[in-house]
Copies of this chain bind each other. A is one copy, B any other.
């Protein structure tokens, strides 16, 4: 197991004021990365960044957190985490496509729906699509990967040094996946796991609905680990 950060990234978090974005931003910054929380309104992002910065005080080797409007956040970053609700996702990505060109974009977007039977996955492109694939189509000059779909916002903002779960990363280039594999170590204490091609985001995204069902039944914050790999 290694928790060393070999590369120090500047990560823009789009949706950085939501629980998933704020929690992941906090974890990345805590482990030495520089995080720019993005929001439509810079003031809101700055206020959440101040909360994150407060939690970084006294943490050895911490990076930094600041807030900015989405476009400015992206401009400052090598890596962009998309942590927005699926509702409005396509329009937002399309509007940011120019800024995203040339960046590595990590999507943790979960297109879920809820009814009286619980959570389930939204059907995208007749079952042949996912939020991550939509982002890749709408921002064709970005390198889009999928990761961090299944980590619990509660755990991310909690006190444990690391979350007892794995981050599975999907994407169509090894370079893009490596960024998310590296960043995963900030969250779980070990590298993310290469889970194959981007289209498998069709599975990882709605898997969150299974974890939500488990959480309701067992009153837990569940995650998944991949067994059988030894040290990877």
Residues of B with C-beta under 8 A to A225: 224-225, 227
Tell whether, in the assembled complex, residue B203 and residue A207 are in contact, meaning their CB atoms are under 8 Å apart. yes
Q: Binary interface profile of A, 185-214, with partner B (CB < 8 Å = 1, else 0)? A: 000000001111101101110110111011
Q: How many copies does the complex hold?
A: 2
Residues of B with C-beta under 8 A to A121: 202-203
A147 → B minimal CB distance (Å): 12
Tell whether, in the assembled complex, residue A227 and residue B224 are in contact, meaning their CB atoms are under 8 Å apart. yes
Given contacts A127-B128, A226-B223, contact A117 B197 (CB under 8 A): yes
Residues of B with C-beta under 8 A to A165: 227-228
Tell whether, in the assembled complex, residue A196 and residue B220 are in contact, meaning their CB atoms are under 8 Å apart. no
Question: What separation, in Å, do the CA atoms of A128 and B122 have in the docked complex?
Answer: 9
Tell whether, in the assembled complex, residue B217 and residue A206 are in contact, meaning their CB atoms are under 8 Å apart. no
Residues of B with C-beta under 8 A to A168: 210, 214
Q: Which of A164, A203, A228 has the most CB of B within 10 A?
A: A228
Given contacts A128-B123, A200-B120, contact A229 B214 (CB under 8 A): yes
Question: What separation, in Å, do the CA atoms of A168 and B218 have in the docked complex?
Answer: 13
Question: What separation, in Å, do the CA atoms of A214 and B192 have in the docked complex?
Answer: 11
Q: Out of B152, B222, B229, name the residue touching A218 (CB < 8 Å).
A: B229
> Could you tell me which A residues sit within 8 Å of B by CB distance?
117-121, 123-124, 126-128, 152, 155, 164-165, 168, 170, 193-197, 199-200, 202-204, 206-207, 209-211, 213-214, 217-218, 220-230, 232
